[in-house]
Chains A and B, each alone.
Chain A
């Protein structure tokens, strides 16, 4: 749709989008304002918009009760291992499914798809038992490993490989490239946007995961959501502290997102282009 409409069209569009954007952002603004209130003020009826006195006590309470840097480090470490592992594993498998013919391919791919539809809580106990028999309990790999294997990721990458015209491979094969070289040097770089999308989505899952890290690791391997959950137990009704904690825990990903938003969007968009 061209940019040819009259000016008042633009104003109406901005008004509609603006109202929507305010609804989207308002909870965050409210959260930030609450962090500077006292506990009593946060429960005032009717609520005050701006804090009567700006106080940073909630942040002090948060920082004294939560080892932020250790949580952050752990969350980040898990994210890197999980995303890295998943990108490698999923693209290898996806290439196999997309470009090779072998007995049982349809069945195996079907198995991958079924796993996509099962709720993750179902796997908790067996995955825990497996991590135990591998002597990995209470380690960073234990938190990261199950998330490295993804049916969704394989599906997404397979779509990306299928979309690449065969001519690229034929030409390279004539030049004597083997399957690995084809995959690594030619095809994988061409799936860049999908790879980025998968990285983005996996980062989100990894950052947000609560139950699995909690069950498989103990204090020294606590991730941010686990720390936040601990905070909720400790400060159940102290909304300023809870709001401060959840703001700080979400902030790293929000900052990364705002800086890399172009890549974020390109990646996520590419995941939906081929249904």
Chain B
């Protein structure tokens, strides 16, 4: 890893930023927002992220090179505390100028007036929004205004361990697979005495039931903003997972709380894993694993579906330098920034046409399947205050995953609570 050099660099950048903030504080507001290159005034923008430091530093460097009057100060914070820090900073007027945003957190920030509308900047820069997947663009549109430009996206695929399939004498999964194929394969692959399971069925939204619910024809949230969990089709999407645990073909929920399901897949305790495209790099970097695993499209239930989600770059409404900030955000959404990210293999860039570099960056894996999956992708389900009912999902569905309650009972209870939360957040 070159992280050390990155950190050293980061520290240097930060120190520079500190001395500059002092001088900037003196000239309040007005003139410093000019973007002309003639002035000696330099503007520093902070950029808050939770991972991919190396890649994002490269993007920031490229931007600084083209805009010598703007410095980017990359701030990396641990994922678990990223949102706490962002929330405290935003209400206190000191959030980073630019930062990463996810769909499930987005609406509360947009509704609270914390985000910079980008419509005029998009218009001025002549950005054709159709270069991004439409589902992603819509996720970051709130009351008619566009607040984010998609940075990357992820779909979910069926990762499988070829060596374990060979050993069990089963043909590898294909794009034609259905739920029934997964069920029969998982039963054949499971060898409980050896501590080996056919599949992992964690209680996981993005890589789990948010895919199988639409596959079964159900919905998490209906179009008129109600919970979809009382729908038998939605419940079928949950039952799919619970059955693997019930039949002993998946580790128990407790085992997967102790050791993440993805780690069990890496550890070759699990033969199939519904995993995001963002794991490609991690599996690829694991040399013991690289030759043994591959990926294909998610198997179909009543139909094919995968949830699509992604990080977007947004700006802080109270930034002292909105013009420079818009410039930076437009750059982050540009083809050039997308290409830099694609080459490192960290994520699938959202900019259409740049993804081939990502697919080619790891030739051992069938990464094209993630791209093909966008054809049947559904947006990640969110509402204004997603965190509240996300918590209910965890509490109620845990009971079904632990086989303490039937899926119908747990989902119906969840539906009632979620409807209450959805009514509450509209007030």
Contacts and interface: CB of A to CB of B under 8 A. Distances in A.
Given A65-B1, A65-B4, A220-B18, A233 B80 contact: yes
Interface in A225-245: 226, 229-230, 232-234, 236-237
Interface in A38-67: 40, 43, 45, 61, 63-67
A67 B94 contact: no
A55 B105 CA distance: 42
B7 interface: yes
A220 B7 CA distance: 9
Contacts of A226: 78
Contacts of A63: 4
B51 A233 contact: yes
B259 A214 contact: no
B7, B75, B78, B91, most chain A CB atoms within 10 A: B78
Given A43-B267, A237-B259, A219 B79 contact: no
A264 B267 CA distance: 44
B10 interface: yes
Nearest to B21: A138
B1 A229 contact: no
A124 interface: yes
Contact of A220 (B15, B79, B85, B89): B15
B353 to A, nearest CB: 31
Interface residues of B, number: 38
Contacts of B288: 40
B76 A67 contact: no
Interface in A1-57: 40, 43, 45
A255 B25 CA distance: 42
Contacts of A67: 4, 7-8, 11
A188 B263 CA distance: 57
B268 to A, nearest CB: 10
A135 B92 CA distance: 12
Task: Describe A's contact surface by its main secondary structure.
Answer: helix
A88 interface: no
Interface in B56-97: 74-81, 84-85, 88-89, 91-94
A67 B11 CA distance: 9
B1 A233 contact: no
Nearest to B15: A220
Contacts of B14: 218-220
B279 interface: no
Given A43-B267, A65-B3, A67-B4, A233 B94 contact: no
Contacts of A269: none
A129 B94 CA distance: 10
